Every structure is written in structure tokens, then in C-alpha cells.
Chains A and B, each alone.
Chain A
Amino acid sequence: MTAPSAPRKLSILREGTSQYLAVDPDGFRAHIRDNKQRALKSRLMTAKEAVERFVSDGDYLTYECNYLMRGPNEVVHEIIRQGKKRLWAAGKFTYVDVALLVDAGCVSRADCGFFLSAPPIDRALKEGRLEVFEYSNVIMTLRLQAGAMGVPFLPVRSFGGTDGFDHSGAKLITDPYTGDPITIVPALNPDVAVIHAHQADVFGNARIFGTGVSDVESALASKKVIISAEEIVETAEIRRNPGATSIPYYAVDAVVHSPYGSYPGTCPGYYGSDPEGVFEVFRAIMSDQVQPYLDKWIRPFETFEQMLDERVGKPKLEAMRARETAREGYSA
């Protein structure tokens, strides 16, 4: 096969008209050069310090998995406690996180892959406190993939033809190689990613076991990365099995030791969810009772650990761990 002799005309056939996070791969590279710690120095800190230093009002935020499944819930609670404002959330694979953050006054824009719509979302939309831009779960994770590759966009085989496309940053172009129409979506380089891992060393080398949504993509694509981890392990342990490292230290800005950090959700292989806690947060969202939920579970406490001690209690946490009997595959 040889290349066609006449150059093909590149044309944009259709464009989404919604606002999207500006695409700037060279700006991202410069940020990485100027801000990321290349030395093996400890990044261990509290959730309070991590959120104070690395989450700013107006940031684009991506969290990994969700409040019910290996969510970085300690850090999410801290974001709410510190009252961060005007965040733009990557609302993919989400049941309750967006509704919690919107009703807490933290999030005012959301890219939608999937998040449970509920009275707090409806009210925020009606009152103009929330703008939503339309994608899908996979389109969001492919945007993060593009961001994690350092390229400005990615061609994708889904999303074309939908009404979501028209309310997004996607474009339909003529593929310069085949001549066929192809959808491209803008790379996503969030300001901050919050990710809950099973294990990390103090430098940020992190191990995640089991399945997930886009942990690695989010870590590499984001300007600032907060890893919370169930266990802090020695670097010698990381070096013993380098193939098990999911996220390398130089992408990471903060490491938070966060045992039971996904409560009330599950951290697969370590502990099961607390069904009572899962139902409670669902009920809070669906019955528009987020404020009482925040007042019960987040605002009265200095730390997540204090909440676990006083509100959940050791017997329940131990029962969650004991109930998690499927443990194969959750170690290195």
C-alpha cells in the first residue's frame, strides 16, 4: 500500500457546542516539568493538608471509582469539609458523589458520563447552580486516556450521532487516513485527581488490585494527584514486585494513609461495603436530605478517622473486613 498521491482535505463535519476544559498538552507538560517532584521524597501527609495544598476553588476534579466502590471518600469528605467551591467534576460511573458535592456547594459544573440524577441535582439545575455537559462513561475515560498520552484529542468509535455529542466538546471529522467520518474527543487533563489505592509507599508508588474505572489514566492525566491508600508499604516491598505498581511516584503529589478510606463503600479484597451506610447515602440523595447527611457524617468531625471511630465503630469495621471473603487477586 502506498499513500494516496493527492492530499486529502481535512474537514470538520459537525461540532459539539458545549464548553469543555481547555486542551493544552504543552501547558500540561510545562506544569509537570515545573511542579512534579522527581526525587524520592516523602509525600505522606494528612487528608487535610493534601486538600489544602492541592485542591483549589475552580479546579477540574476527577475522582476514581465512586463513593460505593473503592472511592477516595476520606479526601472527598475533606473537600466538602473545607468547602471548596466552583469545582468542575468528571461525573463518570457515579451514583451519589456528584449529588453530594453539588449539594455541599462544592461543584458547579459536571461532565456527565453517568451520575444518578436526583432532587439535589434537579434543584441545582433549576436554580442555575449547576451546568452539565454531556459525554458517556467510556468517552470520559477515553478523554482521560488522551490526557494521559499527552495528545490533544483521541479518535473514538462511539458517541457520534447522539444528542450528547451536540452538547459536548466532540467533533466529527473526515479521517485523513480512511476518508471515513470519525468522532474525535478533547483530551482531558484535570487539575486534580483523587484516587484510593490498596497500597502505596510514601513516595506515591501505588498498587491497585482488582478492577476499576480509569485510575491510571486519571493519575497520569492530572496536574495534581492525591493518592489515599489503605496501607503504606515499604519501598522495598514495591521493588520486590515492580509489575504490581499501578501508578508511579513521579505522577503523585500527595499520599494519604487512609484505612477504611472507602467507607461506606467497599475496598475490594480488603473489606466489603456497609449496606446500611450505602442505603443511607442513597436515601439521602433520593429524598433530598443531603444536608442532614453531611451534618451527620462529615461536618462534625475533624478527620475521617474520627468519624470512623465515633460514628461507625470498630466492631462494624471489623465485620466489614471479615465479610470480605473473596481475597484472591488482591495482593502482589
Chain B
Amino acid sequence: MTRAEAFSEREVAMCTVAHLIEDGRTYWAAGGGTPLYAVLLGQKLYAPDAQYVTEDGVISPEPLLPFEPMMTMVASRAVHHALQWGTMNSAGVHAQLGHMDYGVLNTLQVDQHGNINSTFLGEYGGSGRRFGGPGGADTIAACCWRTILITDQDRRKFVKQVDFISSPGFLDGTPGARERAGLPRDTGPWRVVTPWAMYDYSERRLRLIARVPWVSVEEILAECEWKPLVASEVQVLEPPTEEELQLLRTELDVRGQTTDAAGGWITWDGEQYVRA
């Protein structure tokens, strides 16, 4: 594997998630886009026995890549050679039954307890801005055993309390809050991955556990609206490899829709990685 020399920030997040994908586990990837690409990247490079489902109830397909634009569900290439074709209710019910080990989601806004907002920025019903709604993410966050959330490291997105809980994290953070709301026992947020960092949860609060080599802990904390817990030893994440980027760019995100080419880029200057 070869360390890559130029990549976008969102590519970093997808590659980081790919390393979390394990053999012998089931993954429910929200929508298309980033979560699905991250799961496919992990499955193809590191965990060939990782299985995934999508919202239209497709189980373990062998998709014909690349997808056509927007066609990551229902379309024949996306659902190709699955083990079963289902429906949204079959996917939802299988998650209720406990068949989904991990959910992989992305979002607009996340808070200290891992609650997710994809509905409304600002005071609900006020002059703020409406977004698409939870889609499948609410059920993924409620019913998968563990959830992995992908988002940007930006203090407007990394907030103390989300403006609107579209999909549940640890709710108010008190022990048993999810169960009191009728959610299945022993489920909940597990990791948050951004282009700069990875977090787990300690006592149901976000904790910084790893960073990329080109960003300091202080820079990360400056992009959080509140101060998250910081692990006593913050690990350093591996940068993307050429193999990962090759796959991502030629088979998965071939149109650059999720790589945010207009956003931040990282390059190797011969001695170190620098943010362009």
C-alpha cells in the first residue's frame, strides 16, 4: 500500500471509515453517497466478508460499479446479484430484530451526545433552513447495534446541542434515556468520523480519540462548538492510500459528488502533509 500524496478532506473521512469495516458483520448504509462508498471501500480492500443492506431491503448485493448518477438504490446495477431483494419495511424490520450490527450515516449536525440533525437548522418552524429529513437514518440510529457517523469538522456542525433531533444518539445523555424513549436496549452511537478526527463515546459523551497527522488537537477543538472529552492518548490516523483513492475515484465516487472537490485538499510537500 502506498501513501497517497493528494486527496480531499471528504476522501479522508471515507477512507478512515473503510478501516472500521469488519468481516462477518452486517452494515446498513444510509442512502447512497458517503456511507455506502465507505462500506464498499472497506469491503473491497479490507473486509471481503462484510455484508451490507440498503434502505430498499437489498441484502449483500454485488453491485455493478460505477453506479449511474443518483442510482445507488432500487436501480438494477446497485441491487445486482443480491442475496435477497426486499422493501423498506423488510430492512427496517430486520434492524428491529437485531440483524444489523452497524449503521453508517452521514449528517448535517451532531451534538455532544451523538444526536443527529438532518431536518432543520435554526429554531424549528422559524426563519431557519429546512433540510431533507431523517430518511432511513432514524431507524438506523435507533435499531442497529452500533452506529458510525460521518460528518464535517466544522463548529457549525459540531454543536453542543442539535437544533432538532432527527435521529437519536444518547438523547439527553442520561443513563437509560434511549430505553425510556422506547428504543431497543444496548444500541447507540459508537464512532464519529470527520476529515480531521475520530471520536468514540465515554459515559455517552463524545471523546476525541484520533486525529489526522496534519491537524493538531487544538485545531480540532477549535472546530467544536463545545469542548469534547479528549482521550489521554490521541492516536494518529493513517492517511489514505493510493489503492483506496484509486477505487474511490474510478469505481465509487466517479463523479466526485461526495468528495467535495471545492473543499479542503491535502498534499504531501516532500516532508509532510499540508492543508491547501
CB within 8 Å of B: which residues of A? Answer: 65, 68-70, 91-93, 95, 112-117, 121-122, 125, 132, 134, 136-139, 141-142, 145, 156-164, 167, 172, 180-183, 210-217, 266, 268-269, 272-273, 275, 278-279, 282, 324, 326-330
Contact B137 A136 (CB under 8 A): yes
Contact among B87, B119, B164 with A213 in the assembled complex (CB-CB below 8 Å)? B87
B: contact size bracket: 35 or more
Contact A113 B96 (CB under 8 A): no
**How distant is A173 from chain B, measured CB to nearest CB, in Å?**
9
Q: A122-B130, A125-B130 given as contacts; is B71 within 8 A of A69 (CB)?
A: yes
Q: A142-B89, A157-B183 given as contacts; is B138 within 8 A of A164 (CB)?
A: yes
How far is it, in angstroms, between the C-alpha of A160 and the C-alpha of B185 when the chains are bound?
13
Contact among A93, A181, A278 with B55 in the assembled complex (CB-CB below 8 Å)? A93
Q: A142-B89, A160-B142, A161-B178 given as contacts; is B73 within 8 A of A211 (CB)?
A: yes
Contact among B135, B167, B182 with A157 in the assembled complex (CB-CB below 8 Å)? B182
Contact A210 B130 (CB under 8 A): no
**Please, which residue of chain B has its CB at the minimum distance from the CB of A330?**
B76
How far is it, in angstroms, between the C-alpha of A68 and the C-alpha of B32 when the chains are bound?
14
Contact among A91, A122, A134, A161 with B129 in the assembled complex (CB-CB below 8 Å)? A122
**How distant is A157 from chain B, measured CB to nearest CB, in Å?**
4
**How distant is A96 from chain B, measured CB to nearest CB, in Å?**
10
A125: chain B residues within 8 A (beta carbon): 130
Contact among A145, A158, A213, A269 with B143 in the assembled complex (CB-CB below 8 Å)? A158
**How distant is B63 from chain A, measured CB to nearest CB, in Å?**
9
Q: Convert B164-199 into 0s and 1s, putting 1 for each residue whose CB lies closer than 8 angstroms to a CB of A.
A: 111110010000011111111000000000000000
Residue B133 is within 8 A (CB to CB) of chain A in the complex: yes
Residue B263 is within 8 A (CB to CB) of chain A in the complex: no
Contact B134 A162 (CB under 8 A): yes
Residue B36 is within 8 A (CB to CB) of chain A in the complex: no
Offer 10 A-B interface pairs, CB within 8 angstroms, sorted by A.
A114-B134, A162-B138, A180-B179, A181-B180, A211-B56, A211-B87, A217-B89, A266-B74, A268-B75, A330-B76
Contact B182 A275 (CB under 8 A): no
Contact A116 B130 (CB under 8 A): no
Contact among B57, B80, B85 with A326 in the assembled complex (CB-CB below 8 Å)? B80
Contact B132 A326 (CB under 8 A): no
**Please, which residue of chain B has its CB at the minimum distance from the CB of A216?**
B87
Contact A158 B129 (CB under 8 A): no
Contact A115 B79 (CB under 8 A): no
How far is it, in angstroms, between the C-alpha of A212 and the C-alpha of B56 when the chains are bound?
5
**How distant is A141 from chain B, measured CB to nearest CB, in Å?**
4
